[in-house]
Every structure is written in structure tokens, then in C-alpha cells.
Amino acid sequence: MFSFFKKKPAPDTTPTPPSPPAADTVAVPDGNVEPAPAAEVTPPPAAAKPSWTERLKSGLAKTRDKLGKQLAGLFGGGKIDDDLYEELEAVLLTSDMGMDATSHLLRDVRERVSLKGLKDASELKGALKDALIELIQPLEQPLQMHGKKPYVIMLAGVNGAGKTTSIGKLAKYFQSQGKSVLLAAGDTFRAAAREQLIAWGERNNVTVIAQQSGDAAAVCYDAMQAAMARGIDIVIADTAGRLPTQLHLMEEIKKVKRVIQKAIPDAPHEVVLVLDANIGQNAINQVVAFDQALGLTGLILTKLDGTAKGGVIAGIAKQHPVPLRFIGVGEGIDDLRPFSTRDFVDALFD
């Protein structure tokens, strides 16, 4: 179900009874008027099998196969010596951790080895696991809404990173926590992008605020107004894909942020960069550039299932840490979850 402000308002067919509207109508800046029944939703049925832990593990299979197999060779036995450290360095570099994180981890592992008086290569696995956990733990900071209503999440990222798909998954995730969700179709560059978000909205029984024409900032402004009128818990704003080098497009997304702020002064509460794990070390450059332009508060790392470059999380933690809110390990609606260091490292090593 969705609404086009430029068209006549769509009837609300949400399955639960509407709560009393905060206002009967919502005036939008261009003079259009949207009736504002509440978009309360029924929580979806319980998550499908297999479990998240199993999906995470199978999603990380490529990274684990590459990293794990090589490490298994190293940890097989024998003495801990300089040759072994050199081999370990090469293995870590091939999993896209990058030079900084690799050097950091090696130093940390050496310290742990000498502190504990470890001698045998088979004991190195535990030391590496502990060092990795300590490095990436600071990225594990689940979203906190702090009672904000609506809590506004704005997504940014390059083309095809997985923004729109992640919004669909997030809508389902938040609904399963009993929250009401509204989506803003802020990718006004492609008609197909709007249709894609509307399809996600229909699948999740969530209202999508869209316009057939108009700019992204106007759509997001409308969405903020609608969310406030309807007493929605969470608004998620989609945006068009862009490269940080496309300066006019970076100006456009800064404007989207400013206009959201105009509607709700402390919003957006969360500015998320969506990253495709396949790009490996390039992810760090994107984090730096988008952070500079927008002031990122969080990251979503998608497509970990399609790549052996999962080590990039260590690179981000070392070079430009921004909280990793969610990771995606597949195209299914349940394939996105909050990032857990322990689960991630366990899935990588075990």
C-alpha cells in the first residue's frame, strides 16, 4: 500500500484498526493534502528456518573458506616463528583487511603470544580470534531509538549497494519488534526505484510515501509530515545511488538531509551508508567520503554472502570506524540482522 501525493490518496487497507489520527489531514508543502489514517501493522509471522546463525555461517562461507582454509594450514602445528607470522600476514591481507588492520592484528597476536608464553602454532588461532574480536568490537553498536518518534533513518550509498533491498528487510525487522514503519521513496531518479520500494512496502504492508515527479527532498519532507501525523515509530528514507565523486549528487543528498531536519529538527537520527562487501578495501574510501559529506552515524554491510572479502570489517574498524548497525547475508527478507562481533568471528573461524 502506498500513497502518491500527486494523485488522489490511496485508500488505507491495513489489517489492524486505525488509531485516531493526530490530524485529519496533512498539508504538504506543495499544497497537496493527504488524509492521514494510522498505518498500524500486524507483526509478521515468526522467522523462517534455517536460523540466523546458520544463514550467517553459510553467508560467510566464502570468506571463511578462503581465510579459514589458509589459517587451518598455518595453525596445523609446528613452532611459532617469524616465518609463521609472515604467512599469517599474507593470509590476512588476502581477506581484504588492509595493511593497517593486518599490521595491528599481527602486533596484537605477537603480544598475546609472548604474554601467554604460547609456543605451538595450534595455539595461535585463539590469539588471532581474540585480537580480531577486540579490534571490531567497537563497531557493534545496535541502533538505540532513545524514545524518538518518529525515529528517522536516511540511507545513502553508491548504485546497487543494496539500499532499497535493505530498507525492505529493515521494515520487516522493525515490524517484528512491534514498531510501525513508513518508507520514503527518496530515489526520484528512476521510476523503477520507486516501484521497487513500493513493492517492498506492499510485501511488508507498510505505507510508502512517493511522488511521480518532484525531488527527493520534497518526498522526504512529505514523509516526515505523514509520519508525524500518523504517529509512526520509524521512517526509513531511500535515496538514489551516487558516487562520492559526483559532487552535484552529493550536494543533492546533503539537501535531503537538511530538508528532513527542517521537518523534524533533530532528524535524521540515523544516517546510514550502505556498502556492498564485494568492493573490499574500496569500502573504506566510501566510508570516509560519505562521512565527510553527511556525517554518518552507521553502516550496513550487504552481500557478505557473495564475497570472500568479509575481512573489510576489520579494515573499517581500524581506519575509519563507524558503527556497523546491520549486515546482510542474502537476498531474502530475513537476511539482514544487527551486527554481532561474536557471531561474526565465530562464523568466520568455526
Give 235's strand partners. 152, 182
- 331 binding partner (options Mg ion, ligand GTP, none; Cβ < 5 to 8 Å by kind): ligand GTP
User: Contacting ligand GTP (CB under 6 A), which of 165, 286, 307, 341?
Assistant: 165
Residue number, 112 or 163, with CB nearest to Mg ion = 163
To the question of whether residue 79 is assigned a binding role by annotation, the answer is no
Is 157 an interacting residue with respect to ligand GTP (CB under 6 A)? yes
For residue 54, count CB atoms less than 10 angstroms from its CB and return exposed for 0-12, middle for 13-18, buried for 19 or more.
exposed
Q: In angstroms, give the least distance from the CB of 168 to Mg ion.
A: 10
How far apart are alpha carbons 327 and 340 in whole angstroms?
Answer: 9
Residue number, 223 or 263, with CB nearest to ligand GTP = 223
Q: In angstroms, give the least distance from the CB of 292 to Mg ion.
A: 22
Which stretch in 69-77, 164-172, 206-214, 303-311 sits in contact with Mg ion by CB under 5 A? 164-172
Is 164 an interacting residue with respect to ligand GTP (CB under 6 A)? yes
Q: In angstroms, give the least distance from the CB of 335 to ligand GTP.
A: 6
Half-sphere exposure of 4 (CA within 13 A, CB side): 12
Contact characters 204-243, ligand GTP, x per CB under 6 A:
-------------------------------------x--
Is 164 an interacting residue with respect to Mg ion (CB under 5 A)? yes
Which stretch in 112-120, 160-168, 178-186, 221-229 sits in contact with ligand GTP by CB under 6 A? 160-168
CA angle 11, 15, 21 (to 5 degrees): 60
Residue number, 140 or 305, with CB nearest to ligand GTP = 305
- The binding site comprises 157-164, 238-242, 302-305
- The binding site for GTP comprises 157-164, 238-242, 302-305
**Binding positions for ligand GTP, rule: CB under 6 A:** 157, 159-165, 187, 193, 241, 274, 302-303, 305-306, 328-331, 335
**Binding positions for Mg ion, rule: CB under 5 A:** 163-164, 193
